[in-house]
Amino acid sequence: MEGGYKKMATIKETAQLYEAPQSKNIADLDKVSIELEINKGRAKDNTGEEFSYHFVEVEGERYRIPGSVLGGLKAILKKMPQMKYFSVLREGTGMNTRYQVLPYYEAGKEGFI
């Protein structure tokens, strides 16, 4: 250690290993429990504007929950209050992304769980 600091990798090495942070989405999960604890986070968009978002943490990873997913889930729970799991279909990209919330169905089980 020279001068009180430890030498790290070069810029080139760091750049070659760099992976841009990607926001995971609740639709990336196959099955989601309605009992997961929801959190609120803050981030900046590509223009530098700050925004808040909801997310759940699963196995140490954060998954963002769009507001439309919460609205869709609310509607399903009115008809199926006993539902324990759901899944989310995502169609489109960027500002044209649409989400559809579905009760989770597991093959081999009786009905939805």
Domain that holds residue 27: 20-103
Answer yes or no: is 82 within a domain: yes
What pLDDT, in 10s, does the model give residues 55-104? Answer: 999 998 999 999 999 999 999 999 999 999 999 999 998 889 999 999 99
Instruction: Tell me the backbone φ, ψ of residue 83, rounded to 5 degrees.
Output: -60, 140
Q: In total, how many domains does the chain have?
A: 1
- Beta strands (DSSP E) in 7-113 are 24-25, 32-33, 39-44, 50-58, 61-65, 85-91, 98-103
Query: Look-up: residue for tokens 């989400």?
Result: 99
Residue 112 pLDDT: 60
Residue 33 pLDDT: 96
More confident residue, 110 or 97: 97
**Three-class secondary structure of residue 23 per DSSP:** coil
Answer yes or no: is 93 within a domain: yes
Helical H segments across the chain, by residue range:
11-17, 67-79
Residue 76 pLDDT: 95
User: What is the rounded distance in angstroms from the CA atom of residue 113 to the CA atom of residue 86?
Assistant: 8
State mean pLDDT over 2-19. 75
